[in-house]
């Protein structure tokens, strides 16, 4: 948020809030004119410190998502590679298909300011999905020692593992239920084993 600003053309301080406007009035008075050299020297010192803090590199956060799914195998889908909260603003976002750079069907925004000295950028890829293709988003930034590659997974591994475990649980449950029913039928009350002429037969008795 901008509170105060020194306008070198008007040679006065401008305040942008109620409190800083009063502060500006004081320093734009005769007192300020007498102390101008000292104040400007202090301003330069503050500005140097502020820009020194901004020289720190901030590593971006990357999110790869499906913005628009294909309605069938022929229509293209839209993937979005969003890069958030990075500094400095210079960054390179490219798409890879099976390890090769994609140069067509790609649209990207510029580095957009967040308003907190950090930036964000979004890149869109329109592609027709084919079985076996590997789609990746590659991000190059001053905060990285090497380009970072993020692979697109149609189904996250955590979700896939939950589905596999759930399916295994259902199968085990069905097997257990079948075994229990078989055991119950063989041991139903009123059912006894009798032997006649060496031939074993089940006889159902009425109770």
- For 20, 38, 69, 102, the CA distances from 75, given in Å and listed in that order, are 57, 67, 9, 18
The reply to whether 9 and 83 lie within a common domain is no
Q: What percent of the chain has pLDDT over 70?
A: 73
Q: Give the pTM.
A: 0.51
The reply to whether 11 and 32 lie within a common domain is yes
Q: pLDDT confidence of 120, banded at 50, 70, 90?
A: very high
- 75 three-class SS: coil
The reply to whether 76 and 105 lie within a common domain is yes
Q: What percent of the chain has pLDDT over 90?
A: 27
The reply to whether 73 and 109 lie within a common domain is yes
pLDDT over threshold 90, residue 82: yes
Cis peptide before 60 (omega within 30 of 0): no
CATH, residue 104: 2.60.40.10
Last residue of a domain, one of 38, 54, 70: 54
- Residue 169, CB-side half-sphere exposure with 13 Å CA sphere: 6
The reply to whether 166 and 94 lie within a common domain is no
The reply to whether 37 and 107 lie within a common domain is no
Q: What is the dihedral of CA 143, 91, 151, 134, to 10 degrees?
A: -140
Cβ proximity of 80 and 122 under 8 Å: yes
The reply to whether 118 and 199 lie within a common domain is no
The reply to whether 86 and 134 lie within a common domain is yes
* Domain carrying residue 19: 4-54
The reply to whether 163 and 139 lie within a common domain is no
The reply to whether 67 and 18 lie within a common domain is no
Q: For the chain, report the end-to-end CA distance as a whole number of angstroms.
A: 90
Q: What is the pLDDT of residues 133-181, one digit of tens each?
A: 899 999 999 999 999 999 988 755 554 566 667 777 788 878 777 777 7
Last residue of a domain, one of 39, 54, 69: 54
Last residue of a domain, one of 151, 168, 196: 151
Q: What is the pLDDT of residues 94-105, one digit of tens each?
A: 999 999 999 888
CA 49/CA 54 separation, integer angstroms: 9
If one counts the domains in the chain, the total is 3
Q: How far is CA 26 from the centre of its chain?
A: 48
The reply to whether 39 and 72 lie within a common domain is no
């Amino acid at each position: 948020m901008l509170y105060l600003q020194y306008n070198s053309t008007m040679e006065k301080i401008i305040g942008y809030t109620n409190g800083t406007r009063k502060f500006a009035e004081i320093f734009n008075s005769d007192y300020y004119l007498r102390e101008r050299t000292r104040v400007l020297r202090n301003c330069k010192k503050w500005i140097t410190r502020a820009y020194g803090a901004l020289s720190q590199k901030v590593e971006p956060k990357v999110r790869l998502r499906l913005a628009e799914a294909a309605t069938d195998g022929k229509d293209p889908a839209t993937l979005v590679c969003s890069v958030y909260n990075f500094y400095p603003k210079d960054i390179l976002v490219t798409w890879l298909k099976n390890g090769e750079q994609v140069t067509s069907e790609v649209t990207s925004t510029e580095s957009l300011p967040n308003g907190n000295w950090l930036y964000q950028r979004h890149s869109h890829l329109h592609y027709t999905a084919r079985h076996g293709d590997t789609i990746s988003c590659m991000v190059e930034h001053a905060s990285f020692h090497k380009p970072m590659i993020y692979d697109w997974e149609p189904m996250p591994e955590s979700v896939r593992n939950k589905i596999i475990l759930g399916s295994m649980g259902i199968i085990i449950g069905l097997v257990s239920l079948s075994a229990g029913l078989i055991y119950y039928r063989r041991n139903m009350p009123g059912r006894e084993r009798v032997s006649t002429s060496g031939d074993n037969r089940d006889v159902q008795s009425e109770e």
